[in-house]
């Protein structure tokens, strides 16, 4: 395991243990057990305002990539509970803004690359980019299903779509001379799927945990679109309910 991956895993586990300790403390000092903060808050079709930190790693051919981001979320529970049994829950629409987004990739290097020219296949040593990429991300479409909560836990699943802008073309690919068309794109799209839960430490306050599978692709906005086919990113946050 690389240093960045070890750091991300350590941070995530540290946040989990800290959150559980906070939750246990809050439960000890909370109102009597007859209260049900999660059920009460979601029953009001509330607004959700939260801040979060997210980190993770690419998988398969992108296992050398790591990601770190932070931002804010705004959402609105817009339905009462529907569906029977374990599927029972409420629909929520939300969005996220991440003014801080970074991806750490393998350093610039030279690699033997196959090419086709005039019908002939050949190989050449070509320079590839790499290093740290900085930008921001917005996820304006988050469609979330909040399952019927227990006293403290409110689990959910979601599908979402967003956009990343980076100050350099991402992901790293074959370098092209400055000012010459080619390479990837500074804009990439992020279709994604996630699961998670809110843990209510007190009424109108929750600590949030999520795991997201995120695909990164420019949809061929650049001449090349190697993308990041899959990444797994973990999120921890804090939410105020109104």
- Cβ atoms within 10 Å of 62's Cβ, excluding its own: 20
pLDDT tens profile 94-151: 999 999 999 999 999 898 888 787 888 889 888 888 999 999 999 999 999 999 999 8
Alpha carbon 78 to its chain centroid, in Å, reads 23
Q: What is the pTM of this model?
A: 0.81
- pLDDT (0 to 100) of residue 48: 96
DSSP assignment string, 14-76: HHHHHHHHHHHHHHHHSS-TT--HHHHHHHT--EEEEEEEEEEEE-GGGTT-EEEEEEEEEEE
- pLDDT (0 to 100) of residue 31: 41
- pLDDT (0 to 100) of residue 45: 86
The percent helix, strand, coil of the chain (3-state, each to 5) is 15, 55, 25
What are the C-alpha distances in Å from 4 to residues 55, 65, 104, 120? 10, 9, 8, 41
How far is residue 188's CA from residue 203's CA, in Å, rounded to a whole number?
A: 38
Parts of the chain with a pLDDT under 70: 1-36
- pLDDT (0 to 100) of residue 83: 94
Output the six-digit token pair for 186: 């500074």
Domain spans of the chain? 3-106+132-241
Q: Which CATH class is domain 3-106+132-241?
A: mainly beta
């Amino acid at each position: 395991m690389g240093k960045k991956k070890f750091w991300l895993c350590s941070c995530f586990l540290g946040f989990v243990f800290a959150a559980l300790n906070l939750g246990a403390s809050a439960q000890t000092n909370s109102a009597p057990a007859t209260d049900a903060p999660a059920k009460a808050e979601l029953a009001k079709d509330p607004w959700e305002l939260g801040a979060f930190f997210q980190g993770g790693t690419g998988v398969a051919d992108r296992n050398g990539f790591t990601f770190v981001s932070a931002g804010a979320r705004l959402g609105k529970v817009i339905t009462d509970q529907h569906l029977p049994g374990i599927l029972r829950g409420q629909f929520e629409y939300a969005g996220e803004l991440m003014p801080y987004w970074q991806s750490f990739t393998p350093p610039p290097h030279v690699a033997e690359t196959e090419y086709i020219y005039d019908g002939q296949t050949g190989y050449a040593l070509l320079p590839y980019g790499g290093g740290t990429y900085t930008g921001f991300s917005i996820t304006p479409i988050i469609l979330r299903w909040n399952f019927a909560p227990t006293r403290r836990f409110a689990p959910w699943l979601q599908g979402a779509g967003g956009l990343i802008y980076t100050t350099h073309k991402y992901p790293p690919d074959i370098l092209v001379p400055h000012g010459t068309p080619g390479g990837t794109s500074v804009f990439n799209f992020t279709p994604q799927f996630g699961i998670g839960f809110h843990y209510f430490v007190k009424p109108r306050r929750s600590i949030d945990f999520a795991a997201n599978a995120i695909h990164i692709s420019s949809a061929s906005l650049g001449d090349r679109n190697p993308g990041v086919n899959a990444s797994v990113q973990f999120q921890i946050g804090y939410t105020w309910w109104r």
